[in-house]
């Protein structure tokens, strides 16, 4: 018997009959806890690096700077390579781990890859919470990074493949929603644990074990995707799972499309080499540039170091964490906007609108800081400080309904099955590379660029908006296995790469 649910209307030309079944909802929610873990890691690092007890134990030089007013530039209090390495080491490890994750995702399946990610998260959390020295602290972050590499490789693919076509965007963005929820939880926990003297930072780091266990349990309980099962030779099991998750017996059109995609995939011996072929170039270029531009919005600079940033702008330590909680809440609510609108108004409209909003908000922040926050001045006036927080929230909200979720959604849906795992690996790798660069460099850039750091990022926002306007096609409501015919061969620029004899 097909599972119950409500029907997704079928349109002509390749959409498939499907219902939103309980197993799809539960599987997507469980898989998306990988985003919860990732978001918690992002949020928690910025919070603990602003806690005096944490700084005193691991970074005494930075601690001394923060306690002595007037000795250092407001912009340079936290400029320390070791402190930046604590944050960035996770993303360097994720960059390396994604190559192993590509292999396991293709050979062992999406579900098992998520299970491996959960185990990495649990071990890394234990090491971080129990850290007695800097080496132990960074080793824990490296293991967490391995978990991020495996989770970010498998979860977006899992969500894109298990979701019905017409809700693929919304269900895929559950991953990004959980990232934002994880950041908010981390900020709330940091706000609470900052009041616990001596070991509050350990509690903050240790509570990462909660989403880590959720991801691990979820990976044990969910089914693998039909695409993954069929690609690995389990056609009977794949067909049964497809029938179960779609809630209908009429799954033959989708099943045959997956079979054909799997047949083509098996002919590809080296998917990474296949990515370099001319016909795959549009997907590869867009996936890479989306990750580069996503980091060049400056979002991770704000989310990693929100408490540090607000402290730099003249807020007290407690007020800094409180302001970070506000931005975290805005992040979550704005991602809900994306879930509602992405399959209605499309990917491009969200990206273009957000480009204007991010550009204006960062420009206003730069102007306010340039005029009112000097190297060794006292705190900013309350009114201007509130204006800065409002502009930061404006920036975060626009990112959260555009470049945040769509930076992961679009690459997960544009590659054909034979290069999907490899393409996602490149996507994660590039994302982690630029996340690492920004995380390692931001505090130093803040020290040297001062308020100009926001002009630097707003310039990138202008460039990436032009990129979207001219080169990013719309993918809403297009079946994942029909992207070539319905998207790439129809695009004014990319169609030139789609000729049948142009693979060299």
Rounded CA gap, 206 and 212, in Å? 10
113 against 445, higher pLDDT = 113
pLDDT of 11 = 35
The angle at the Cα of 202, spanning 200 to 204, to the nearest 5 degrees, equals 75
110/151 Cα distance (integer angstroms): 9
| C-beta separation of 147 from 96 below 8 A | no
What does the pLDDT read at residue 504?
A: 47
Distance CA 393, CA 39 (A): 17
pLDDT digit string (tens) for 27-57? Answer: 888 877 888 888 888 778 777 877 888 888 8
Q: What is the pLDDT of residue 244?
A: 87
**Residue 125 to residue 144: CA distance in whole angstroms:** 7
Tens of pLDDT, residues 143-179: 999 998 898 888 888 888 888 877 788 877 888 888 8
- CA–CA separation, 141 vs 306, rounded Å? 19
DSSP 269: S
Return phi, psi of residue 18, to 5°: -160, 150
User: Residue 244 sits in which domain range?
Assistant: 21-497
At residue 130 the predicted structure's pLDDT band, cuts being 50, 70 and 90, is very high
Q: Which residues contact 239 (CB under 8 A, 6 or more apart)?
A: 226, 230, 251, 255
d(CA 501, CA 504): 8
> Whose CA is closest to 93, among 153, 142, 42?
142
Among 25-34, 66-75, 430-439, the least confident range: 66-75
- Give yes or no for residue 139 having a pLDDT over 90: yes
Res. 386: pLDDT tops 80: no
Domain-located, residue 170:
yes
Higher-confidence residue of 427 and 173: namely 427
The answer to whether the beta carbons of residues 323 and 306 sit under 8 Å apart is yes
Q: Which alpha helices (H) appear in 401-451, and where do they start and end?
A: 403-414, 417-449
Is 12 domain-assigned? no
Residue with tokens 């033959």: 252
Count the Cβ atoms, other than its own, within 10 Å of residue 20.
20
Domain membership flag for residue 7: no
Query: How is 358-395 classified by DSSP, letter by letter?
Result: HHHHHHHHHHHHHHH--TT--PPPHHHHHHHHHHHHHH
Asked if 267 and 8 count as a contact pair (C-beta separation under 8 A), the reply is no
pLDDT for the residue 202? 92
**Predicted pLDDT at 5:** 33
Is pLDDT of 3 > 50?
Answer: no
DSSP assignment string, 43-66: HHHHHHTT-HHHHHHH-HHHHHHH
Task: Kindly state the average pLDDT of the residues 347-367.
Answer: 93
- Whether the CB-CB separation of 144 and 208 falls below 8 Å is answered with yes
The overall longest dimension of the chain from CA atoms, in Å, is 73
Model pLDDT, residue 285: 95
CA 269 to chain centre: 29
Which whole number is the average pLDDT over 400-421?
88
pLDDT at residue 99 tops 70:
yes
pTM for the model stands at 0.75
Q: Identify the pLDDT of residue 461.
A: 96
Q: Residue 178's pLDDT is what?
A: 86
Portion of the chain with pLDDT greater than 90, in percent = 25
Q: Does residue 125 have a pLDDT over 60?
A: yes
- Residue 133 backbone zone (phi > 0: left; psi -120 to 50: alpha; other: beta): beta
Phi, psi dihedral angles at 6 (to 5 degrees): -105, 145
Q: Residue 259 and residue 20: Cα distance in Å, rounded?
A: 23
Maximum mean pLDDT: which of 128-132, 375-379, 419-423: 128-132
Q: Is residue 380 part of a domain?
A: yes
Cα separation, 90 vs 93, whole angstroms: 5
Integer angstrom CA distances of residue 192 from 184, 189, 196, 201, 497:
13, 5, 8, 10, 54
Asked whether residue 14 is assigned to any structural domain, the reply reads no
Residue 36 within any structural domain of the chain: yes
C-alpha distances (whole Å) from 326 to each of 42, 82, 338, 431, 447 are 16, 28, 19, 26, 25
| pLDDT on residue 312 | 59
Q: For 318, how many CA atoms within 13 A lie in the half-sphere containing its CB?
A: 3
User: What average pLDDT does the chain have?
Assistant: 83
* Lowest mean per-residue pLDDT among 378-392, 438-452, 456-470: 378-392
Using the predicted structure, report yes or no on whether residue 476 has a pLDDT greater than 70: yes
Q: What is the C-alpha separation between 229 and 184, in angstroms, rounded?
A: 35
Does residue 70 register a pLDDT over 60? no
Residue 270 is predicted with a pLDDT of: 80
**Residue 168 to residues 241, 348, 468, Cα–Cα distance (Å):** 17, 16, 20
Which CATH number belongs to the domain containing residue 284 in this structure? Answer: 1.20.1250.20
pLDDT tens digits, 212-251: 998 899 888 888 889 889 888 888 998 998 888 888 888 8
Count structural domains, the chain: 1
- Of the candidates 174, 157, 164, the one whose C-alpha atom is nearest the C-alpha of residue 228 is 157
Q: pLDDT tens digits, residue range 269-315?
A: 788 888 888 888 999 999 999 999 998 998 866 765 566 666 655 56
C-beta atoms surrounding 482 within 10 Å: 16
Question: 109: left (phi > 0), else alpha (psi -120 to 50), else beta?
Answer: left
Query: Which has more confidence, 222 or 356?
Result: 356
Mean pLDDT confidence for 8-30: 67
Q: Which two tokens stand for residue 306?
A: 């929100």
């Amino acid at each position: 018997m097909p599972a119950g649910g409500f029907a997704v209307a079928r349109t002509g030309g390749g959409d498939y009959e499907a219902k939103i079944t309980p197993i799809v909802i539960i599987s997507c929610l469980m898989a998306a806890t990988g985003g919860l873990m990732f978001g918690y890691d992002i949020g928690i690092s910025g919070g603990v690096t602003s806690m005096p007890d944490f700084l005193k134990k691991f970074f005494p030089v930075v601690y001394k700077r923060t306690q002595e007013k007037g000795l250092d530039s407001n912009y340079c209090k936290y400029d320390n390579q070791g402190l930046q390495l604590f944050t960035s080491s996770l993303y360097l490890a994720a960059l390396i781990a994604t190559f192993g994750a590509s292999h396991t995702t293709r050979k062992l399946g999406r579900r098992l890859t998520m299970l491996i990610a959960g185990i990495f998260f649990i071990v890394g959390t234990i090491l971080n919470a129990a850290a007695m020295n800097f080496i132990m602290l960074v080793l824990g972050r490296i293991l967490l990074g391995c978990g991020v590499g495996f989770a970010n490789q498998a979860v977006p693919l899992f969500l894109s493949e298990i979701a019905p076509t017409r809700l693929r965007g919304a269900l895929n963005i559950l991953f990004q929603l959980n990232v934002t929820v994880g950041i908010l939880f981390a900020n709330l926990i940091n706000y609470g644990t900052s009041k616990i003297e001596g070991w509050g930072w350990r509690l903050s780091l240790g509570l990462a074990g909660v989403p880590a266990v959720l991801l691990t349990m979820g990976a044990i309980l969910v089914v693998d995707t039909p695409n993954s099962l069929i690609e690995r030779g389990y056609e009977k099991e794949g067909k049964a799972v497809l029938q179960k998750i779609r809630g209908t017996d009429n799954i033959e059109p989708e099943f045959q499309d997956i079979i054909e995609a799997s047949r083509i995939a098996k002919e590809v011996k080296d998917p990474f080499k296949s990515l370099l072929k001319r016909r795959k170039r549009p997907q590869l270029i867009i996936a890479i540039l989306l990750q580069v531009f996503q980091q060049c919005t400056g979002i991770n600079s704000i989310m990693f170091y929100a408490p540090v940033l607000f402290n730099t702008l003249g807020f007290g330590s407690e007020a800094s964490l409180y302001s970070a909680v506000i931005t975290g809440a805005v992040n979550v609510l704005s991602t809900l906007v994306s879930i509602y609108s992405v399959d209605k108004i499309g990917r491009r409209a969200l990206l273009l609108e957000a480009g204007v909003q991010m550009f204006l908000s960062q420009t206003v922040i730069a102007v306010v800081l340039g005029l009112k926050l000097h190297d060794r001045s006292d705190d900013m006036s309350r009114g201007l400080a509130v204006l800065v927080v409002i502009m930061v929230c404006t920036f975060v909200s626009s990112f959260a309904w555009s470049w945040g979720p769509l930076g992961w959604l679009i690459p997960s849906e544009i590659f054909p099955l034979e290069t999907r795992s490899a393409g996602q690996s490149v996507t994660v790798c590039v994302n982690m590379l630029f996340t690492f660069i920004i995380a390692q460099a931001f505090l130093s850039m803040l020290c040297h660029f001062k308020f100009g750091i926001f002009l630097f990022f707003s310039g990138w926002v202008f460039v990436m908006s032009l990129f979207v306007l001219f080169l990013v096609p719309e993918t809403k409501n297009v079946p994942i296995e029909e992207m070539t015919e319905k998207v790439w061969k129809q695009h004014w620029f990319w169609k030139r790469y789609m000729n049948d004899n142009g693979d060299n």
